[in-house]
Amino acid sequence: MLHKGRRALLAAALAGAVATALVFVGVQSAQAATLFSTDFTGGASGWTRSGGSWSVVTDGSAVYRQSGTGSDARALAGSSSWTDYSVQALVKPTAFNGSARHAGVIARAQSTSAYYYLALTNAGDVRLGRRGSGGHTTLASAAATVSLNTWYRLRLEASGSTLRGFLNGQLVATATDSAYASGSIGLASYYASASFDDVLVTDSAGPSPTTQSPTPVVTTPPAPQPVPGQADGHATGTTGAPAAPPSP
């Protein structure tokens, strides 16, 4: 369930992501399925944590908070077999310790040190990157105003080798990379404290089978045949002189 205090932000994000479509005969359609969702009302069981100090606290409603700023902190969840999907969450940075610090979401995690991420930074941008043995690699970025104690909705989509990052429903970064083909999702705060909420993971659904409306068959009933001795539904009499009365 999405929290009342953040419905306005979600509505704005969805408005930027929704496209209106008219479905005609022979047009394909698709619908994404939910793989995972949580608003942390029931706690944070099932998350694997590394670094930082993670806990569920109340911030208007239940949120997952990482309160430390002295380490690289991650929390992972979901399945390592997930391939093409979208992960989104509300992210609120609360403090940055040093320069080039960030907080964001993770996709296709191989481990707590190998994954893709979309993050808000204190360098004034939103960054799409890859974490691996060589550290952090920026794949794409876009200028953004990042304020402390403000909620932002981040969404990271992974489909094949294409990665797309959204900020509050608007596409801001696109990249191509084939390092990781599958993996779990997560939350990240790199030498930063942050709160997270309303995590949602959906698959990248393929098109459903093409449907086509049947062609109606119009049949014309045969014209009614006249009944002998009738015309237009009225009885007809005989022609000529009337019959003579019987002889007495």
**Residue 198: CATH number of its domain:** 2.60.120.560
pLDDT of 89-107, one tens digit each?
A: 999 999 999 999 999 999 9
Sign of CA dihedral 203, 206, 208, 212: positive
Mean pLDDT of 122-150: 97
Q: Lowest mean pLDDT: which of 5-9, 108-112, 133-137, 203-207?
A: 5-9
Pair 146, 187: CB distance under 8 Å? no
Q: How many domains does the chain have?
A: 1
Residues 198, 3: contact at Cβ < 8 Å? yes
The total of other beta-carbon atoms located within 10 Å of residue 17's CB is 15
Torsion sign over Cα 199, 204, 208, 210: positive
Q: What are phi and psi of 14, to 5 degrees?
A: -65, -35
Q: Is 25 within a domain?
A: no
Give the pairing of strands 62-66 and 170-176: unpaired
In this predicted structure, what is the pLDDT of residue 28? 40
Q: What tokens does 241 get?
A: 């002189």
- Looking at residue 3, what is its pLDDT? 60
| Residue 209 phi, psi (nearest 5) | -55, 145
- Predicted local confidence at residue 10, as pLDDT: 52
Whether 108 maps to a domain, the answer reads: yes
What pLDDT sits at residue 216? 46
> Band of the pLDDT at 204, cuts 50, 70, 90?
confident
Task: Give residue 112's domain range.
Answer: 38-203
Give residue 168's pLDDT.
Answer: 98
Element holding 13 (H helix, E strand): helix 7-17
pLDDT of residue 172: 98
pLDDT average, residue stretch 8-17? 53
Q: How far is CA 105 from the centre of its chain?
A: 15
Mean pLDDT value across the chain: 82
| Residue 231 domain-assigned (yes or no) | no
pLDDT higher at 209 or 60: 60
Query: Would 65 be classed as within a structural domain?
Result: yes
Q: What percent of the chain has pLDDT over 90?
A: 69
Question: 220 lies in a domain?
Answer: no
Grade residue 223 by pLDDT with cuts at 50, 70 and 90. Answer: low
Residue 119 lies in a domain: yes
* 15 compared with 49, residue with greater pLDDT: 49
Out of 2-6, 84-88, 114-118, 231-235, least confident range: 231-235
pLDDT at 213: 41
Residue 238 forms part of a structural domain: no
Does residue 106 form part of some domain?
yes
The pLDDT of 186-198, averaged and rounded, is 98
Torsion of CA 46, 127, 70, 200, to 10 degrees: -20
